[in-house]
């Protein structure tokens, strides 16, 4: 009787020591569909319902296993237990300690939410992490290292951060990747995005280089999108590495063969007019190089603007005049690929021929008269009128029509002279004075009329040094005679003062149209 009483008293005292909210140690005594029954030292086993234990643990739980549980209520003498409650509290305690120590923990992404993701710590507590804490978009279920940014146990608030870790990882990765690269190295990368001034090329996971638009190609590129698009793989040479600024300059054209170096002055190429300017035409040749045809080299025909001769898109045959690799300049000529009209000047014009045309230019020394689409003639001021005039504009305006007689043709200087005051003179009886300069094919010959029309014999005679030929047959004493004075061009009596005939330096060359005074000018 006494023993029985003592046992009952002991059980009663033990039962009264158990309270709601208390955490106790127990032992699993039974597992069934109704739940898990745990011996907690009371008169009867405590009941651990299935929703109060994590499914992962339930799958491995067996009779005899020790468990730590919390008493959540007592009903009809039966204690109801929770293991989750104990596990949550333990997890919170761990997080509080982790934050104090600034410890790195592992979190698992569980779902996407606004502005970020929900992640789980210790497989129990969920917290928020902003999307900027990831490079790219994380996959649900992936595990990442993180730290605790904010924690409020009472409000059940939990926020994670990875920014310090990302910066550390990036610094380490940059050091590693920069160590792998050298200036002059050729790399392969992927175009990430385009900008108005170039393309950003991803070289490694941490390094991106700039491919400037000027380094795309040897061709002139107006827009990066004309050559590349996002996602393209490109080969490029590293021009410069700046570790402090984390910048890498790339060149795509440095990996290409320079077409400029394959060109030879004097060769002829086909091209297409790319654009027009006041000073000339830019022509893109079939080899991809763009060169300049100066306005003076567009055609033998004189033009005030390139649009008078060509249009954008027109095919054009050009000859290479000069190559300046250091300045990336190529000077071209279109008229050099055409037949020079001066080779046929005598088939069109002759000394003594009457011509008509419009005045195109007035100057102190005389004026220029347009003969046809290719040829112009110079009219000295002394040949404009029988009367003395101070300036050609005393009698003419630009555009005025006039008529005159050709008094000389100088193929060496590509110049034709015309006289207006001799237009009515009859000069068919006296022979022409022919000055031979010795250039083959009629070029380099000046034929000046004192009177009479030039003949084929005059032209042919100008090619032979008849004086020297005759001199071979003369006696020596005849050769010793003083040479005769050179024949002067006939001039009117009123031109006694030499100043009336303009000096050669002032007299513009009435040349085959299109020759520029300054051939080196490229605008």
DSSP string, 115-179: TEEEEEETTTEEEEEEGGGSSS-PPTT-EEEEEEEEEETTTTEEEEE-HHHHHHHHHHHHHHHHH
Residue 34: inside a domain: no
Is the pLDDT reported for residue 294 higher than 90?
Answer: yes
The whole-number pLDDT of residue 169 equals 85
The whole-number pLDDT of residue 215 equals 94
DSSP 477-497: HHHTSPPPPPPPPP--GGG-S
Q: Indicate whether 470 and 345 sit together in one domain.
A: yes
* pLDDT band for position 447 (cuts 50, 70, 90): low
What CA–CA distance (Å, rounded) separates 301 from 320?
20
- Residue 379, number of CB atoms within 10 A of its CB: 26
* pLDDT band for position 182 (cuts 50, 70, 90): very high
What CA–CA distance (Å, rounded) separates 287 from 371?
39
Is the pLDDT reported for residue 465 higher than 60?
Answer: no
Asked if 369 contacts 359 with a C-beta cutoff of 8 angstroms, the reply is yes
The whole-number pLDDT of residue 444 equals 52
Dihedral angle over CA of 344, 346, 348, 352, nearest 10: 160
When pLDDT is averaged across residues 314-325 and rounded to a whole number, the result is 93
When pLDDT is averaged across residues 315-331 and rounded to a whole number, the result is 92
What CA–CA distance (Å, rounded) separates 212 from 499?
62
| Residue that is last in its domain, among 198, 229, 255 | 255
CA-to-CA dists, residue 223 to 194, 287, 290, 313, 403, angstroms:
10, 20, 16, 19, 55
* pLDDT band for position 267 (cuts 50, 70, 90): very high
pLDDT, greater one: 309 or 436: 309
Q: Indicate whether 388 and 458 sit together in one domain.
A: yes
The whole-number pLDDT of residue 424 equals 54
Q: Indicate whether 299 and 383 sit together in one domain.
A: no
| Residue that is last in its domain, among 206, 236, 255 | 255
The whole-number pLDDT of residue 407 equals 93
Q: Indicate whether 347 and 430 sit together in one domain.
A: yes
Residue 508: inside a domain: no
What CA–CA distance (Å, rounded) separates 465 from 454?
18
- Residue 58, number of CB atoms within 10 A of its CB: 14
* pLDDT band for position 108 (cuts 50, 70, 90): very high
Is the pLDDT reported for residue 362 higher than 80?
Answer: yes
Q: Both tokens of residue 458?
A: 């005059």
* pLDDT band for position 450 (cuts 50, 70, 90): very low
When pLDDT is averaged across residues 32-55 and rounded to a whole number, the result is 83
CATH of the domain at 156: 2.40.50.140
Domain residues for the domain of 110 are: 87-161
Is the pLDDT reported for residue 520 higher than 50?
Answer: no
Strand 401-410, strand 78-82: pairing: unpaired
List the one residue out of 199, 203, 205 whose CA is nearest residue 181. Answer: 203
Q: Both tokens of residue 53?
A: 């234990």
Domain count across the chain: 4
Residue 143: inside a domain: yes
Is 68 strand, coil or helix? strand
What CA–CA distance (Å, rounded) separates 495 from 358?
26
Is the pLDDT reported for residue 181 higher than 60?
Answer: yes
Asked if 489 contacts 450 with a C-beta cutoff of 8 angstroms, the reply is yes
Least confident span in 154-168, 175-189, 479-493: 479-493
- Report the share of the chain in percent with pLDDT over 70: 77
Environment class of 95 (CB within 10 Å of its CB; exposed 0-12, middle 13-18, buried 19+): buried
Q: Both tokens of residue 79?
A: 């204690």
Environment class of 6 (CB within 10 Å of its CB; exposed 0-12, middle 13-18, buried 19+): exposed
Asked if 78 contacts 44 with a C-beta cutoff of 8 angstroms, the reply is yes
109-156: per-residue pLDDT in tens? 999 999 999 999 988 889 999 999 998 899 999 999 999 999 898 888
Out of 62-76, 400-414, 427-441, give the one with best mean pLDDT.
400-414
Q: Indicate whether 358 and 469 sit together in one domain.
A: yes
Cα 445 from chain centroid?
Answer: 51
| Residue that is last in its domain, among 279, 304, 337 | 337
Residue 129: inside a domain: yes
What CA–CA distance (Å, rounded) separates 220 from 288?
9
**Strand ranges (DSSP E) for 168-259?**
186-195, 198-202, 208-212, 233-242, 247-251
Mean pLDDT of the chain: 79
The whole-number pLDDT of residue 425 equals 52
Residue 488: inside a domain: no
Is the pLDDT reported for residue 313 higher than 60?
Answer: yes
Q: Indicate whether 351 and 445 sit together in one domain.
A: yes
> Please, what sign has the CA dihedral across residues 20, 25, 29, 34?
positive
Residue 72: inside a domain: no
The whole-number pLDDT of residue 262 equals 86
> Please, what sign has the CA dihedral across residues 386, 388, 391, 397?
negative
Residue 150: inside a domain: yes
pLDDT, greater one: 349 or 1: 349
Q: Indicate whether 132 and 197 sit together in one domain.
A: no
Is the pLDDT reported for residue 434 higher than 90?
Answer: no
């Amino acid at each position: 009787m006494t023993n029985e009483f003592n046992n009952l008293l002991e059980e009663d005292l033990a039962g009264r020591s158990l309270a709601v909210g208390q955490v106790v140690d127990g032992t699993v005594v039974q597992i069934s569909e109704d739940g898990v029954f745990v011996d907690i030292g009371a008169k009867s086993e405590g009941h651990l319902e299935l929703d109060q234990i994590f499914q992962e643990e339930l799958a491995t739980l067996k009779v005899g296993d020790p468990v730590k549980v919390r008493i959540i209520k007592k009903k009809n003498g039966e204690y109801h237990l929770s293991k989750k409650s104990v596990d949550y509290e333990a997890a919170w305690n761990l997080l509080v300690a982790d934050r104090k120590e600034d410890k790195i923990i592992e979190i698992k992404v569980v779902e996407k939410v606004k502005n970020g993701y929900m992640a789980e710590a210790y497989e129990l507590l969920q917290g928020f992490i902003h999307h900027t804490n990831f490079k790219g978009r994380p996959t649900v279920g992936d595990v990442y290292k993180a730290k605790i940014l904010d924690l409020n146990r009472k409000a059940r608030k939990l926020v994670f951060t990875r920014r310090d870790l990302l910066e550390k990882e990036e610094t380490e990765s940059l050091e590693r990747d920069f160590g792998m690269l050298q200036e002059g190295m050729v790399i392969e990368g992927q175009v990430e995005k385009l900008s108005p001034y170039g393309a950003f090329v991803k070289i490694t996971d941490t390094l991106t280089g700039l491919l400037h638009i000027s380094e795309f190609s040897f061709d002139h590129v107006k827009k990066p999108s004309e050559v590349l698009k996002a996602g393209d793989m490109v080969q490029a040479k590293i021009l410069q590495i700046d570790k402090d600024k984390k910048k890498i300059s790339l060149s795509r054209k440095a990996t290409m063969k320079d077409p400029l170096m394959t060109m030879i002055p004097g060769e002829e190429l086909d091209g297409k007019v790319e654009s027009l300017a006041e000073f000339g035409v830019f022509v893109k040749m079939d080899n991809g190089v763009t060169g300049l045809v100066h306005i003076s080299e567009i055609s033998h025909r004189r033009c005030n603007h390139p649009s008078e001769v060509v249009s954008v898109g027109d095919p054009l045959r050009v000859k290479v005049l000069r190559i300046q690799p250091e300045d990336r300049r190529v000077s071209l000529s279109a008229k050099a690929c055409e037949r020079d009209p001066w080779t046929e000047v005598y088939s069109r014009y002759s000394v003594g021929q009457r011509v008509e045309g419009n005045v195109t230019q007035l100057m102190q020394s005389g004026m220029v008269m347009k003969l046809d689409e290719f040829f112009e003639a110079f009219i000295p001021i002394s040949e404009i009128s029988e009367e003395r005039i101070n300036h050609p504009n005393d009698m003419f305006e630009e555009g005025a029509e006039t008529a005159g007689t050709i008094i000389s043709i100088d193929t060496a200087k590509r110049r034709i002279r015309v006289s207006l005051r001799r237009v009515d003179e009859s000069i068919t009886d006296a022979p022409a004075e022919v000055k031979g300069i010795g250039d083959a094919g009629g070029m380099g010959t000046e034929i000046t009329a004192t009177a009479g029309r030039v003949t084929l014999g005059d032209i042919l005679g100008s090619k032979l040094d008849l004086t020297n030929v005759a001199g071979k047959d003369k006696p020596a004493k005849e050769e010793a005679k003083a040479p005769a004075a050179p024949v002067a061009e006939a001039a009117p009596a009123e031109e006694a003062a030499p100043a009336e005939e303009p000096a050669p330096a002032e007299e513009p060359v009435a040349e085959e149209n299109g020759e520029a005074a300054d051939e080196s000018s490229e605008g």
